[in-house]
Amino acid sequence: MFSSRTLAMTAVCQTRVPRNANMEKLQNGYLFPEIAMRQQAFMKRHPEAELISLGVGDTTQPIPRVVTAAMAETCHALSTSEGYRGYGAEQGNEELRKRIAEVIYEDMGIKQTDVFVSDGAQCDISRIQMMMGSNVTVAVQDPTFPAYVDSGVIMGQSTSFKKETGAYGRIEYMRCSPENLFFPDLSATPRTDLIFFCSPNNPTGHAASRAQLEQLVSFAKSNGSIIIYDSAYASFISDSSPKSIYEVPGAKEVAIEVSSFSKFAGFAGVRLGWTVIPEELTFSDGSSVGRDFDRIMCTCFNGASSIAQAGGMACLSPQGLKAMKKVINGYKGNAMMLGEAFASAGLEAYGGRNSPYVWVHFPGRRSWDVFGEILEKANVVTIPGTGFGPGGEGFVRVSGFGRREAVQEACRRLRRLFGRRSVVVRKRDYSVGATEDAAAASAPVLLPRI
């Protein structure tokens, strides 16, 4: 009797506002909060453990002084009559738009007015999705950064999630694996309106080659699709892979580029990013995509923080660029060490060379199990590959964004955990009780593609 009364009271308090059916479709927590939760649960059980996080791609190195000094100066100026500024342009300060166009897109024909400054790539992705609406079809790399799919689900671009496949309906998952050099088989990919493409990819660490991107642009052209190219990790590219989709001729008519200062300049907490929408890009009715995005920025956004923008200007000065490069090289050094630690244990490790991420294969195992094993036995936090799509099953992602000493210690622990296998499991052992683990360990000891 008591419980029915409680129920009745609860019912009285409820509103009659229907929950958004698209929100209901979303699975579980969003990846990173989910990992944080499991990590906290582990710490509760093992308060003595010294966890090392190679999980969330979170920067750890101080921001060079040339940048923070410029930001601090802007703060102080806000307390003076001459230096105070209220709202800035919703699209970003003119001089920063200009500098991004000139420094990042040198010789690519990107105009200042094509650049929209924002509070970060992830935020821009959801604003682009809001602009596109529910009536578009979408393709994503599989695995990939989850925000493309999740924001699309929220906007109603998908049907419901299928447990069997680990995928949402109506979204095209383009498998990217070692077998296809992390580039989708476009001949087998149906046309979609939008193609989200992240390079260097998060999580696989693969930077698409020029030939691959030419294929992608030509595919988009012949299908009349729009590529939404995420270059948030472009500054990590060491080889000749393009750093922008606009290095490919003709891309301006088919591609939006989203990017960020988060990984490039340690701005994860400062919040600064940008989106390029070339004037040449139009919808099927010939109307300008950039004009609609401008409207979204004016209606749903109000400009990036003036302080962060001052920091962005300093990042793109010659002195700033030099300082950033040093930081990025440090992270890449970490990623190389991690890749070697896994490879020396006979595991296939990808990424690292053009990316802060290393993508490690555990064939035949479930990635949440591997995540759990590494957490329990090495007290190291990784990211289970399935968090990035069904194509991530059997992989975990580790990040080189940690501090050097922490990464070194993580490498020692990982060698201890997995290393024995490369010793114990030798060729003559293959037929003897080849468990899943042994099978994993018996993978050819490849030189890591890092």
Dig out the tokens for 53 from the structure. 């996080």
Per-residue three-class SS string for 68-116: HHHHHHHHHHCCCCCCCCCCCCCCCCHHHHHHHHHHHCCCCCCCHHHEE
* Closer by beta carbon to a second copy, 2 or else 84: 84
**Binders in 75-104 for a second copy, by CB under 8 A:** 75-76, 78-81, 83-88, 90
C-alpha torsion sign, points 303, 305, 311, 315? negative
Does 132 bind a second copy (CB under 8 A)? Our answer is yes
* Closer by beta carbon to a second copy, 192 or else 355: 192
* Closer by beta carbon to a second copy, 281 or else 440: 281
Does 20 bind a second copy (CB under 8 A)? Our answer is yes
Q: Could you tell me the smallest distance in angstroms from the CB atom of residue 232 to a second copy?
A: 12
Among 35, 52, 55, 59, binds a second copy (CB under 8 A): 59
Coil, strand, or helix at residue 251? helix
**Binders in 201-230 for a second copy, by CB under 8 A:** 223-226
Dig out the tokens for 63 from the structure. 């921001």
**Binders in 150-169 for a second copy, by CB under 8 A:** 150-151, 154-156
Pick the piece of the chain touching a second copy (CB under 8 A) from 42-50, 179-187, 196-204, 283-291.
283-291
Q: Could you tell me the smallest distance in angstroms from the CB atom of residue 81 to a second copy?
A: 6
Does 60 bind a second copy (CB under 8 A)? Our answer is yes
Pick the piece of the chain touching a second copy (CB under 8 A) from 99-107, 239-247, 290-298, 418-426.
290-298
Does 123 bind a second copy (CB under 8 A)? Our answer is yes
The answer to whether the CB of 67 falls within 8 A of the CB of 265 is: yes
C-alpha torsion sign, points 437, 438, 440, 446? positive
The 10 Å Cβ neighbour count of residue 203 is 29
Helices 318-344 + 404-424 axis angle, to 10: 20
Does 17 bind a second copy (CB under 8 A)? Our answer is yes
Element (H, E) at 342: helix 318-344
Q: Could you tell me the smallest distance in angstroms from the CB atom of residue 206 to a second copy?
A: 24
Give the Cα separation of 343 and 447 in Å (integer): 7
Does 172 bind a second copy (CB under 8 A)? Our answer is no
* Closer by beta carbon to a second copy, 182 or else 388: 388
Q: Could you tell me the smallest distance in angstroms from the CB atom of residue 248 to a second copy?
A: 15
The 10 Å Cβ neighbour count of residue 401 is 25
* Closer by beta carbon to a second copy, 80 or else 431: 80
* Closer by beta carbon to a second copy, 134 or else 159: 134
**Binders in 381-420 for a second copy, by CB under 8 A:** 401
Distances (CA, A) of 336 to 307, 339, 352: 34, 5, 6
Among 38, 58, 103, 112, binds a second copy (CB under 8 A): 58
Give the Cα separation of 98 and 38 in Å (integer): 44
**Binders in 294-333 for a second copy, by CB under 8 A:** 295-296, 298-308, 311
The answer to whether the CB of 404 falls within 8 A of the CB of 334 is: yes
Among 35, 99, 122, 340, binds a second copy (CB under 8 A): 122
Give the Cα separation of 169 and 221 in Å (integer): 25
Does 134 bind a second copy (CB under 8 A)? Our answer is yes
* Closer by beta carbon to a second copy, 120 or else 385: 120
Cis peptide before 143 (omega within 30 of 0): yes
Give the Cα separation of 80 and 324 in Å (integer): 30
**Binders in 28-57 for a second copy, by CB under 8 A:** 29-30, 32-33, 56
Q: How far apart are the first and last CA of the chain?
A: 65
Pick the piece of the chain touching a second copy (CB under 8 A) from 37-45, 96-104, 122-130, 239-247.
122-130
Count interface residues toward a second copy (CB under 8 A): 100
| CB hemisphere CA count around 6 (13 angstroms) | 3
The 10 Å Cβ neighbour count of residue 347 is 24
Q: Could you tell me the smallest distance in angstroms from the CB atom of residue 435 to a second copy?
A: 37
**Binders in 253-282 for a second copy, by CB under 8 A:** 253-254, 266, 268-271, 280-282
